[in-house]
Amino acid sequence: MKKIVTTMLILFAASIMLPAQEGIVPEDLLIDHRWRDGEMRIIFDHPTTQEFGQREDSPSYQNVGEVTNVGYYSLNQVLGNIGSKWKRQGADSGNVQQTVDSLRAVAAGGYIYLYIERFLENRANLQYFFIIIRDKDDKAIYTKNFDYQAPSIAATRSTWWNYIVTEIPIELEYPFYVYVNDKQSRSLSDFKFKIEDIKLKNIEIISADEMMDE
Query: Has residue 74 got a pLDDT over 60?
Result: yes
Q: Which of 148, 96, 144 is nearest to 121 (CA)?
A: 148
Confidence of residue 32 (pLDDT cuts 50, 70, 90): low
Q: Which residue has the higher pLDDT, 177 or 27?
A: 177
pLDDT reading at 27 higher than 50: yes
If you average pLDDT over every residue of the chain, what do you get? 79
Of residues 173 and 155, more confidence is placed in: 173
Residue type, 164: I
| pLDDT tens sequence across 107-154 | 999 999 999 999 999 999 999 999 999 999 999 999 999 999 999 998
State pLDDT tens for residues 41-67.
999 899 999 999 876 554 444 456 789
Q: Is the pLDDT of residue 25 over 80?
A: no
CA angle 187, 190, 195 (to 5 degrees): 155
List the chain domain ranges: 2-212
C-alpha span between 74 and 176 (Å, rounded):
12
On whether the pTM is more than 0.75, the answer is: yes
Ramachandran region, residue 44 (left: φ > 0; alpha: ψ -120 to 50; beta: rest) = left
- 147-174 as b/e: b if 16+ CB within 10 A: eebebeeeeeeebbbbbbbebbeeebee
Polymer length of the chain:
214
Residues of the chain with pLDDT > 70: what percent? Answer: 70
